[in-house]
Amino acid sequence: MSIGRDRSRDHALRRGPYRPLRRKGKTGPVRRGLTFLPPVFVAMLLALAATPVVAGAMWLADMTRDLPSAQDLARDPLALSTKVYDRSGGELLYQFEVERREPVTLDQVPQVLIDATVSAEDKTFWTNPGVDILGIARAAYSDVMGRSEGRGGASTITQQLVKQRIVGSEVSLRRKIREAVLAIEVTNTYSKREILELYFNQIFYGNQAYGIKAAAQTYFAKELKDLTLAEAALLAGLPQAPSVLDPSQPHNVARAEERRVYVLDQMVSTGVITSEQRDAADAEPIKVVGRQITRITAPHFVFQVRDQLTRILGGDEGAVTRGGFKVTTTLDMAKQGTAERQVRGWVDSLHDRNVWNAGLVSIDPRTGEVLSYVGSVDYYSREDLRVQGQYDVVGIGLRQSGSSFKVFNYLTALKKGATAATVVVDTRTDFTGKAAADAFAQPRFDPKTACGYCPENADLQYHGPVTMRQAIRESRNVPAVKFLHRYSGIEDTIQTAKEMGITTPIDPARVGLSLTLGTREVKLLDMTSAFGVLANMGVRVTPTFILKVEDPRGKVVWEHKDYEQKRVLDPGIAYIMNDILKDTTQPARSYIFGQWTNIGRPAALKTGTTDDLKDVYSVGYVPQLVTGVWMGNSNGDRMSGQDFFSAMGPGQLWREYMKEALAGVEAKDWERPQNVVNASVVAAPGAYGGYGSGLLPSRLSPFASSEIFLRGTEPRVTDSWYVAGCPAADGTTTVGMRIREIGLATWAPYTQKWIADAQKGTHSYGRYTWSLVSEDPCPSPSASPTPTRSPTAPPGKGSPSPSPSGSPRPSPSGTVDPFPRPSVPLPPLPTRTPNPGGGQGG
């Protein structure tokens, strides 16, 4: 019911002054005056008189056709801002909105603001029927005369509400008529207080502020109750022309002052303030907080929140910006601050290596909660093409992961029967068999043209027989390809990667054996989540950016609980890979990476570098946290420096971030599953390991070390690689090594070439001092003698006693398959001088 209307008086007015002339039983003078006219003529006169009325009615009907209902004001909810908070719920990260608005009730609006608004916009608001008749007449006259001025008319508060809320702001007589008709209907449907409340929540005040509360916060950073008379008058005057009167723009201040004076004068004229109050308010200078520049905390993270929220709301993007949800995210502000500072600091320190951008993401592998997320070094850097700050290199960017992708290959090999002690020979190899083994030594040999597929190690060194553990911790490329070719298989490796969280489609036919070297572009977010499976002992939890979503009434509509946990790896396999990758962060176990990546607690890590030095990776973890780091340039510029590699750049960034992020967190190691056992195998211990068969030690084996295996995969065969050589003149017998690689026949010529070079002393890399012999340890007199040397164990290590062995198991290739062995304590580690320049492509 409208306030201030005398409905009995309205009824009397509708009856009209001449109603008594037509009362039943009275003919009246008009009726008698028509009796002499013919009936047909009378009908024609009546029709002629009715024509304008009928025409007007038809015109009005056309004007108001399809007019919305006044009920739409309440039925169609206001667009409300969706607010995004950190995990504590205390820090606002951003607001998604088409209209920045916070609803209020009329009781929350101070009387001074109500008086200022009514005085400035609609003095007769409390008594009018919702329209200004004179304003409509002026608009109609201007439309008929073809004039643009005056078409707007003097709109009431109700008309302004209807215009913005329902009918739109088209400048035309039709819109004005529709607006007036609907304003009258609204006045008959809602109380004046309800209309004014809708107005205060709906109307636009400029500077992205919709509604009076948003306006008070935008211009004065105040709550409504704290507004002064001068501030209330200024806000009340803004809806007339928000962009022109916006006082946060210096060139608008004079006009805003004029408008404020007008509002104050109108308040005096309506008697709600005195002249003295007006003068005091007029003397108050306009002080606004300045134009609001919308900044986003953790911007790339926030946009990932938006995408997930859209999925939660069934794909309705409009609901995100209009629904008024409160979103509590997973973001840990302390870790986010650490991540942003570390990324900025390390990128700045590496400008001389042509490093200008980096990304970092950190996830709790137990819950999938994303705790920190830096999508670029500077979100607001737009002009530097090396940065392209708004592009999210973590969650959107597709980059080659380099050797970090090898983990999926080796995990697949472990699933298919290989072990951490399985040996392949690290030697230059053409996996198509196109290039002859001797061709590699030719001065003019070009592997790009002379080879079918000839991957190279990053340090261009080839270290002969190496175990899986050694191949991983030194990130050697040729052994990785051999494991993929011999054990894992391309399609099965792709499947492992997919199950662990890699979402990039990978075509086996297009990647081939280069798959294991990380040539297929992936997302850092995916890689980090996939490594989280290892951190979580084989269980995958899908990453989430959101903990809880509440609607405007506080009802929880979605919550991250009872989330899916899917086992994708046997816990024993996960444990073995964790144990291998822990070597990378221990200087005593990895002479290449350990000095760069140690964080003072058990931690696993894998790095990656592309061969053109355009992308460098580090993904590492502890049981409670997994973090991935990428460095490079968004425009694809290569980084520089012969000694720059993954451990030096992202590895150190990872190290410093993890040390700070884990401060105060209990240091933990992974619990060993019951299906993991130890066995002693022939492999040199320490950071310079390898150079053995991976089989059970014999009495001739010069060394042994302890390795872990899935129960049942321990080696059953005694080492036959180390054999007695020919008797010497003094009666002693030398011991030599005879390499028997389990692999394809096409690999043999390249292995023999490596052996021949090693016998000549062409490459020892300081790793071995025992002899290498051919298949025949005692050649005939006609054959060239094989150079031999007495075996020398690594420092502090003697030859172990022979261990019992089972029967050999023939492999498909016809050679002995080197699997599972009994437990022997780990021997002392040898002391070596680190060589950080080697193997930089990790």
Q: What is the pLDDT of residues 592-632, one digit of tens each?
A: 888 889 999 999 999 999 888 999 999 999 999 999 999 99
Poorest-pLDDT segment among 5-14, 49-58, 225-234, 321-330: 5-14
Query: 815 Cβ partners below 8 Å, 6+ apart?
Result: 740, 741, 742
Give the angle 470-472-476 at the CA atoms, nearest 5°: 85
Do residues 360 and 629 lie in contact, with contact meaning Cβ atoms separated by under 8 Å? yes
The pTM is what? 0.79
Query: Cα(635)–Cα(610) distance, rounded to whole angstroms?
Result: 15
User: What is the average pLDDT across 634-644?
Assistant: 85
Residue 685's closest CA among 469, 471, 835, 829?
829
Instruction: Please give the pLDDT value at position 774.
Output: 54
For 204, phi then psi, to 5°, come to -90, 130
Sign of CA dihedral 686, 691, 696, 698: negative
Q: Is pLDDT of 842 > 90? A: no
Residue 176's closest CA among 191, 194, 156, 197?
156
81 vs 781 pLDDT, higher one: 81
Residue 259's closest CA among 228, 278, 235?
235
Q: Is pLDDT of 750 > 90? A: yes
290 vs 319 pLDDT, higher one: 319
Residue 474: how many CA atoms within 13 Å on its side-chain side? Answer: 31
Query: Cα(623)–Cα(366) distance, rounded to whole angstroms?
Result: 8
Residue 281's closest CA among 300, 298, 297, 262?
262
What residues pair up with 708 in beta bridges, in sequence order? 678
Instruction: Please give the pLDDT value at position 772.
Output: 62
Confidence of residue 679 (pLDDT cuts 50, 70, 90): very high
Q: Tell me: the pLDDT tens digits for 370-412?
A: 999 999 999 999 889 999 999 999 999 999 999 999 999 999 9
Do residues 467 and 683 lie in contact, with contact meaning Cβ atoms separated by under 8 Å? yes
Q: Is pLDDT of 9 > 60? A: no
Do residues 747 and 432 lie in contact, with contact meaning Cβ atoms separated by under 8 Å? no
Q: Is pLDDT of 478 > 70? A: yes
Where is 709: in which H helix or E strand? strand 705-710
Instruction: Please give the pLDDT value at position 46.
Output: 58
User: What is the average pLDDT across 736-757?
Assistant: 88
pLDDT mean across residues, the chain: 82
Instruction: Please give the pLDDT value at position 828.
Output: 31
Instruction: Please give the pLDDT value at position 775.
Output: 53
Query: 160 Cβ partners below 8 Å, 6+ apart?
Result: 121, 199, 203, 239
What residues pair up with 540 in beta bridges, in sequence order? 566
Q: Is pLDDT of 836 > 80? A: no
Residue 416: how many CA atoms within 13 Å on its side-chain side? Answer: 18
Query: 281 Cβ partners below 8 Å, 6+ apart?
Result: 228, 229, 230, 233, 260, 264, 273
CA distances from 56 to 45, 62, 183 (A): 18, 10, 20
Instruction: Please give the pLDDT value at position 290.
Output: 66
Poorest-pLDDT segment among 129-143, 487-501, 731-745: 129-143
Instruction: Please give the pLDDT value at position 14.
Output: 34
Query: Cα(375)–Cα(378) distance, rounded to whole angstroms?
Result: 8
Query: 99 Cβ partners below 8 Å, 6+ apart?
Result: 78, 79, 81, 204, 210, 211, 322
User: What is the average pLDDT across 212-227?
Assistant: 94
Do residues 310 and 96 lie in contact, with contact meaning Cβ atoms separated by under 8 Å? no
Query: Cα(431)–Cα(456) distance, rounded to whole angstroms?
Result: 12
Other Cβ atoms closer than 10 A to 88: 11
CA distances from 644 to 242, 352, 358, 587, 664 (A): 56, 11, 15, 18, 32
Confidence of residue 702 (pLDDT cuts 50, 70, 90): confident
Give the angle 405-406-410 at the CA atoms, nearest 5°: 135
48 vs 830 pLDDT, higher one: 48
Q: Tell me: the pLDDT tens digits for 404-454?
A: 999 999 999 999 999 999 999 999 999 999 899 989 888 888 877 889 999
Q: Is pLDDT of 469 > 50? A: yes
Instruction: Please give the pLDDT value at position 179.
Output: 78
Alpha helices, H only, 583-694: 594-597, 652-661
Do residues 668 and 625 lie in contact, with contact meaning Cβ atoms separated by under 8 Å? no
Instruction: Please give the pLDDT value at position 105.
Output: 95
User: What is the average pLDDT across 34-42?
Assistant: 48
Query: Cα(217)–Cα(223) distance, rounded to whole angstroms?
Result: 7
Q: Tell me: the pLDDT tens digits for 761-792?
A: 776 666 665 556 555 556 544 433 333 333 33
Confidence of residue 335 (pLDDT cuts 50, 70, 90): very high
Instruction: Please give the pLDDT value at position 800.
Output: 33
| DSSP code at position 192 | H
Instruction: Please give the pLDDT value at position 665.
Output: 97
Poorest-pLDDT segment among 189-203, 337-351, 488-502, 570-584: 189-203
Instruction: Please give the pLDDT value at position 154.
Output: 62
Query: 712 Cβ partners below 8 Å, 6+ apart?
Result: 820
